[in-house]
A and B are shown apart, each in its own frame.
Chain A
Amino acid sequence: MSIQRRGFLASGAALGLAPLARPALAQGAPLKIGMITTLSGPGSYLGQDIRDAFLLAVEMEGGKLGGAPVQVMVEDDALRPGQGKQIADRFLKNERIKLLTGIVFSNVLGAVAPDVLDAGGIYVSPNASPSNLAGKECHKNFWSIAWQNDSLHESAGQLATNLGQKKMFILAPNYQAGRDAITGFKRLYKGQIAGEVYTRLDQTDYAAEMAQIRAAAPDGVYQFHPGGLGIAFVRQYIQAGLLANVPMTLASPSMDSTTLAAVGDAAVGVNVTSHWNSDFDNAASKRFVAAFQQKYGRLPTYYAQQGFDTALAIAAALKGTGGKVDDTEAFYRAMKPASFESTRGKFRFGTNNHPVQDWFALKVENVGGRPALVTKDRVLTDHGDAYASQCRF
């Protein structure tokens, strides 16, 4: 079973690039951006959304970002750190790419980021942002556009506290982002922990965990299971008859619009926290949601929004540097002000290049006969992360 699956150029990349081939020639070679993301196996729809939204942003600017013609090269890491590392190596050495993005899962990022940064490259993360890269091992050339992992779960912990849930049962997969999830949730949750369980990242059946939850009889459950894992978890939670008695409070990765479609009406009443939702009432968000729906015929998930904002942030930086990434110091100066119109409204970078932003409570409600995520109150305002103080460039 040790044979590594070879990466392949996703056809979507070629699709997104076709219209810009000719004008690019006239202005010299386009700037290459390397995108390593998860396009196969469970969780592949997360990578697909990031890729599709990123390419949409490029397309909306006519094949450019910040006025600079770009060529996005997309490769599939198949959720394997080793494979991600090999692709990064090829991007850096053979393709001479300096600007990378795209990784969904923190364990893949953990293998790739050090290589990119050591080689003098820049990494702009549309999703995974583990605690180490926000704190002691932070880097001037590592940018997080989505959130620091913990923030997702801190906001959920705050919401559970606000909702008066006194005894919570918490679960997450046993990998970097899962451990960050448990730590983050407990940081702002004031109640009592009824039980704490680490699941496996390749687990599909949660019957044993369901029995444990029922035995512990908590007020609520918090669980972090991104992508297909979360769908399986929530469905089995409903099948076990638990959702009616033990409400769930979730962070956005465990309840995106795809998960919601899978779970259906049974999810009505579930509480979620997020930095963005497709019903946000600002011009940038509305434009993005409309364009995404028109091009791909589906509602964008948070992952899509993060991919889109990543492209916007890179565009703003490229505009400042005149489309160059060779001078990382100049890129840093151009990127830091975050002078782009984020789909989430308010956005700025903290001292450690991670977002400082507001977090919102969402609730699954019946809208026009279908369950949808509806934005409610603000949970956290101008929230950064707990690791920024440990970061020295």
Chain B
Amino acid sequence: MALLLEQLLNGVQLGVMLFLLAAGLTLVFGIMGVINLAHGSLYMVGAYAAAVTASATGSAILSLLAGLVAAAAVGMALEYVVLRRLYARDHLDQVLATFGLILFFNQGMVLLFGRQPLFVDVPEALQGFVRVLPGIDYPVYRLVIIAIGLMVAFGLYWLIQRTRIGMLVRAGATHREMVRALGVDVRLLYTLVFGLGALLAGLAGLMAGPILSVQPGMGEQILITTFVVVVIGGIGSVRGALFGAVLVGVVDTMLRAYVPGLLREVMAGSEADALGAGLASMGVYLLMALVLLVKPRGLFPAHA
């Protein structure tokens, strides 16, 4: 029972990381209609900026700021220089251009920092464990990730539902032409939304730094799962991204943790392990297929 709860927490934590990435991706796609494959690169930029700052200054606060600022700045510059030219083009051109950006960023990181992974320590204050329930000691750092992710989710909800910018964002997602016709500076709005998405990706990246290794290509490992989240949640919907991300995180973790064990009850050990690992890695894609079968536009479609 304790193990199940711990795995559930692990699933939610993975889900929260996915949410931070998916929120930006889904906003950019929903509002600007751009498929941004380079979203993972912004995650990498955030992670690198934080890692480099942390090793230079030793300050967790400074490295947090550096990661956020770098990701948002690079994101907005990217929108201004490259993506702005892609809004009117078809999806294939967007995919080609943003794929090119992935290569550019990965090679750029290799040139700047080399191929050896960079390392960041968990900040002193967040090391250690807390007893969340009798029998479950959970790392403080992972709990903090969950808390920050949920705070961001509420913050986004407030921003989108309760503020003027949010109103424009919502309007942009559903009635793009009308917003333009009403004289809103859509270009600025787009740059800001893209910057916000980049900021969130950077936040995910800098929080992932102490858990994973910071290295070129780290964004692509998580990007595909992020796309699955966006599709499951409904393209353009931040609420969908939150539910989709937590669903994918929990399902993926649970399958990895329990499928091989369950299969071992019915077949030989090594076969069960290999098959179980295979099934678990297909799990999120099966989930996506299932959701699309029942709700072809995702769980919370934005353009309903």
For B278, the chain A residues whose CB sits under 8 A away are: 174
Q: Is the CB of B3 within 8 A of A215?
A: yes
Partner of B277, one of A5, A200, A211, A261: A200
Query: Which of A53-61, A236-244, A380-388 is the interface stretch?
Result: A236-244
Of the residues B6, B211, B256, B277, contact of A236 by C-beta under 8 Å? B211
Q: How far is the CA of A241 from the CA of B156 in the complex (A)?
A: 34
> A3 to B103, alpha carbons, bound, how many Å?
12
In Å, the complex CA distance between A48 and B117 comes to 12
B217 engages A42 (CB within 8 Å): yes
Q: Is B174 an interface residue (CB 8 A)?
A: no
Whether A44 and B13, one on each chain, are in contact in the complex, defined by CB atoms closer than 8 angstroms, is no
Query: Provided the pairs A41-B220, A199-B277 are in contact, do residues A235 and B211 lie with their beta carbons within 8 angstroms?
Result: yes
User: With A205-B211, A207-B10, A258-B117 known to touch, is A44 a contact of B253 (CB < 8 Å)?
Assistant: no
**Interface residue? A280 (CB, 8 A):** no
Chain A residues within 8 Å of B, Cβ to Cβ: 1, 3, 5, 39-42, 44-45, 48, 174, 179, 182, 196-200, 202, 204-205, 207-209, 211-212, 215, 228, 231-232, 235-236, 239-241, 258, 261-262, 264, 298
Given contacts A208-B7, A236-B211, 17 further A-B contacts (CB under 8 A): A3-B95, A40-B106, A40-B107, A42-B213, A42-B215, A44-B215, A45-B117, A174-B277, A196-B273, A198-B277, A200-B280, A208-B256, A215-B3, A231-B119, A232-B211, A232-B212, A264-B119
Give the 8 A-B residue pairs with the shortest CB-CB distance, closest first. Answer: A198-B277, A41-B217, A207-B10, A174-B277, A231-B213, A44-B115, A45-B115, A208-B257
A1–B13 Cα distance when bound, in Å, is 26
Nearest residue, chain A, Cβ from B107: A40
CB distance from A168 to the nearest CB of B (A): 14
CA distance A119 to B257 in the complex (A): 44
The smallest beta-carbon distance between B86 and chain A, in angstroms, is: 16
Nearest A-chain residue to B220, judged by Cβ: A41
Complex interface residues of chain B between 251 and 277 (CB less than 8 A to chain A):
253, 256-257, 260, 269-270, 273-274, 276-277
30 A-B residue pairs with CB within 8 Å = A1-B224, A3-B99, A41-B217, A41-B220, A42-B117, A42-B218, A44-B216, A44-B217, A45-B115, A196-B270, A197-B277, A199-B277, A200-B281, A204-B208, A204-B212, A204-B218, A204-B221, A205-B211, A208-B11, A228-B117, A231-B119, A232-B212, A232-B213, A235-B119, A239-B122, A239-B139, A241-B137, A262-B117, A262-B213, A298-B116
Determine if B129 is an interface residue (Cβ-Cβ < 8 Å).
yes
CB pair B221 A208 closer than 8 Å: no
- Known A-B contacts A40-B216, A45-B115, A236-B211; the reply to A208 vs B10 at CB < 8 A is yes
Contact of A207 among B129, B142, B276 (CB under 8 A): B142
Proximity bits, B162-186, A CB within 8 Å = 1, else 0: 0000000000000000000000000
Q: In the bound complex, how far is the Cα of B139 from the Cα of A258, in angstroms? A: 25
The docked-state distance in angstroms from the alpha carbon of A179 to that of B274 is 9
> Is residue B110 contacting chain A, with contact meaning CB distance below 8 A?
yes
Q: How far is the CA of A228 from the CA of B217 in the complex (A)?
A: 11
B141 at the interface (CB under 8 A from A): yes
Contact B273 A198 (CB under 8 A): yes
- Is B14 in contact with chain A by the CB < 8 A criterion? yes
Residues of A within 8 Å of B106, CB to CB, are 40-41
Whether B216 pairs with A196 at a CB distance below 8 angstroms is: no
B286 an interface residue at 8 Å Cβ cutoff?
A: no
On chain B, the residues within 8 Å of A211 by CB distance are 3, 6-7, 10, 257
How far apart sit A215 and B137, CA to CA, in the bound complex (Å)?
Answer: 12
Q: In whole angstroms, how far apart are the Cα atoms of A198 and B137 in the complex?
A: 25
Q: In this complex, what residue of A is CB-closest to B119? A: A262
B-side interface size class? 35 or more
Where chain B touches its partner, the secondary structure class is: helix
What residues of A have a CB within 8 angstroms of the CB of B208 in the complex? Answer: 204
Q: How far is the CB of A94 from chain B (nearest CB, A)?
A: 23
Give Cα distance in the complex from A174 to B119, angstroms: 26
Q: Is the beta-carbon distance between A198 and B260 smaller than 8 angstroms?
A: yes
Which residues of B have CB within 8 Å of A209? Answer: 256
**CB nearest neighbor in B for A179:** B274
A202 to B219, CA, bound (A): 11
**CA separation between A196 and B99, bound complex, in Å?**
38
CB nearest to A205 among chain B residues: B14
Q: Determine whether the beta carbon of A212 is less than 8 Å from that of B217.
A: no
**Is B77 in contact with chain A by the CB < 8 A criterion?**
no
CB distance from A104 to the nearest CB of B (A): 12
B222 at interface, CB cutoff 8 A: yes
Nearest-neighbor residue (CB-CB) of B276 within chain A: A198
Q: Which residues of A contact B260 (CB under 8 A)?
A: 197-198
Q: In the complex, what distance in Å separates the CA atom of A2 from the CA atom of B269?
A: 34
Q: Which residues of A contact B116 (CB under 8 A)?
A: 45, 258, 298
Residues in chain A near residue B96, CB distance under 8 A: 3
Chain B residue with the shortest CB-CB distance to A38: B115
- CB contact under 8 A between A198 and B3, given known A3-B99, A45-B117: no
How far is the CB of B104 from the nearest CB of chain A, in Å?
Answer: 12
Residue of B nearest to A199 (CB): B277
A197, B217: Cβ atoms closer than 8 Å: no
- A261 CA / B213 CA spacing, docked (Å): 12
The winner among A40, A207, A212 for most chain B CB atoms within 10 A is A207
Residues of chain B with a CB closer than 8 A to A215's CB:
3
Bound complex: CA of A1 vs CA of B39, how far in Å?
14
**Taking the nearest CB of chain A, how far is it from the CB of B91, in angstroms?**
13
Q: Residue of B at shortest CB range from A201?
A: B281
What separation, in Å, do the CA atoms of A5 and B37 have in the docked complex? Answer: 14
| Chain B contacts with A in 65-100, Cβ cutoff 8 A | 95-96, 99
Interface centre among B106, B117, B253, B273 (most CB of A within 10 A): B117
B window 1-23: CB within 8 A of A: 3, 6-7, 10-11, 13-14
Please give, as numbers and ranges, the residues of chain A lying within 8 Å of B221 by CB-CB distance.
42, 202, 204
Look across to chain A and name the residue whose beta carbon is closest to the beta carbon of B111.
A11
**Residues on the B chain within 8 Å of A1, using CB:** 224
Q: Are A174 and B281 in contact (CB under 8 A)?
A: yes
